[in-house]
Structure 1
Amino acid sequence: MADIFDAKKDYVLEDDNALLRPLTAADFEQLKAFGINEPELWKFTLQNAGSEEGMHAYLETALERREKGTSYPFIVFDKNKNEYAGATRLYDIDVANKNLSLGYTWYGKNFQGTGLNKHCKYLLFEFIFEQLEFERVEFRLDSDNERSMRAIKSLGCTFEGILRNNGYKIDGTRRNSSVLSILKNEWLESKKELLKEKLNDYKS
């Protein structure tokens, strides 16, 4: 029987390489250096956390939306490096229709390309599809963000199309958003095993 999603519950997801736990206001101390020292991380994001003030606002918004039950932010800890690496979020959570979006994902530059993201997504897909028994996970990203597009496709997600001129970039210009998804039946039938094979690239 599926667990009922509860935004007030503290969900912790982990394997030998990665740990995801609920983001808290106190995590500003863990994340502020990324905002101050790595402004390039926010080029394609909807909310610019590229400063001390920006990171405060980022955390405040994430926690407000969790309180409303529409979003659930995690902080990411890399067990191999023994360091906090970034954050990710479930959002647009539609319990009635068993759909949600997965995004607001970022990692410091020292954690990119290490395989950490694949471990995190494996844990999240297991949680979403097997524990909560949701049916669909959607990804939306700036269509110019080629790096993220490759990363999402490598998880086994399907490109669905482009929402034209549907939002603002942090510089105030409009953006096109690419939409990708993965379905519960796809995960259980084949994508889970395919992603598990790729995890060998990032061993503890």
Structure 2
Amino acid sequence: MWASPVRLSGEIVSLAPLAPAQEADLAEAAADGALHQLWYTSIPRTDDIAGEIDRRLALQEAGSMVPFAILDSDGRAVGMTTYMNIDAANRRLEIGSTWYRTSVQRSGINTECKFLLLSHAFETLDAIAVEFRTHRLNRQSRAAIERLGAQLDGILRAHMILANGTQRDTAVYSITAAEWPTIRAHLLHLLGR
């Protein structure tokens, strides 16, 4: 497999291959801020965490996803993220299905998490592009993606039907391999390194 499970470690966050043993931490993380109530994104309820872990691991087995648990400096799982929509032939992937417990949002964890994922994608996997996708109306997610330095490729209108029956317009962003050195310097500056 081009992208496979790996542990990535930084100064304030680590990414570990997703595993059922992280269920209790992730259930607690999902309960922090009742994230499942956000209508424009899909974050599991606390009692659905085991099923979400199983779903992501099945997609990993199929070769279309590499899921991670996001661990804080104490080793506690505070969210999930993935490499998804993996296109090995074209050396492209998406970083997505990411969520964090409310209490660690805006703490620097997201910036370092994305730095680790992007570094691995461009420097180890030799990706030519990494995508990010989110609901057009998810301003918090869009601002975080834009803060990384990703460029808006466009909006896929009426792209998906959400669980509540509404249609999602999907904002698609990307970073290319040619842009990575500048983005890398930018992220290191944001991280104070």
Give the CA deviation at 1:160. Answer: 1.1
1:74-122 CA distances to partner (integer Å, 9 max, x unpaired)?
001111x553211100001011100111100110011000111000111
- Secondary structure, aligned partner of 2:98: strand
Structure 2 gaps of 5+ residues are none
1:148-163 counterparts in 2 under 5 A?
148-163=141-156
CA distance 1:61–1:138, change in 2 (3 Å): same
Match of 1:192 among 171, 184, 191: 184
CA distance 1:197–1:147, change in 2 (3 Å): same
1:74 aligned partner, one-letter code = F
Does the Cα contact within 8 Å between 1:41 and 1:108 map onto a contact in 2? no
1:75-90 counterparts in 2 under 5 A?
75-79=69-73, 82-90=75-83
1:191 aligned partner, one-letter code = I
2:184 aligned partner, one-letter code = K
Residue equivalent to 1:140: 133
1:103-148 CA distances to partner (integer Å, 9 max, x unpaired)?
0011001100011100011111110000010110111100110000
Coordinate RMSD, CA, aligned: 1.7
Residue equivalent to 1:72: 66
1:192 aligned partner, one-letter code = R
- Secondary structure, aligned partner of 1:185: coil
Residue equivalent to 1:20: 15
Superposed structure 1 runs of 4+ greater than 4 Å apart: none
Distance 1:6 1:154 in 2: 25
Distance 1:36 1:126 in 2: 30
Residue equivalent to 1:31: 26
More deviation, 91-100/55-64: 55-64
1:43-62 counterparts in 2 under 5 A?
43=38, 44-45=40-41, 47-52=42-47, 54-62=48-56
Q: How many residues align?
A: 192
Residue equivalent to 1:63: 57
Structure 1 length-normalised TM: 0.88
More deviation, 64-73/26-35: 26-35
Distance 1:61 1:119 in 2: 26
Residue identity over aligned pairs, in percent, reads 30
1:142-171 CA distances to partner (integer Å, 9 max, x unpaired)?
011000000000101001111011102232
CA distance 1:130–1:74, change in 2 (3 Å): same
CA distance 1:119–1:171, change in 2 (3 Å): same
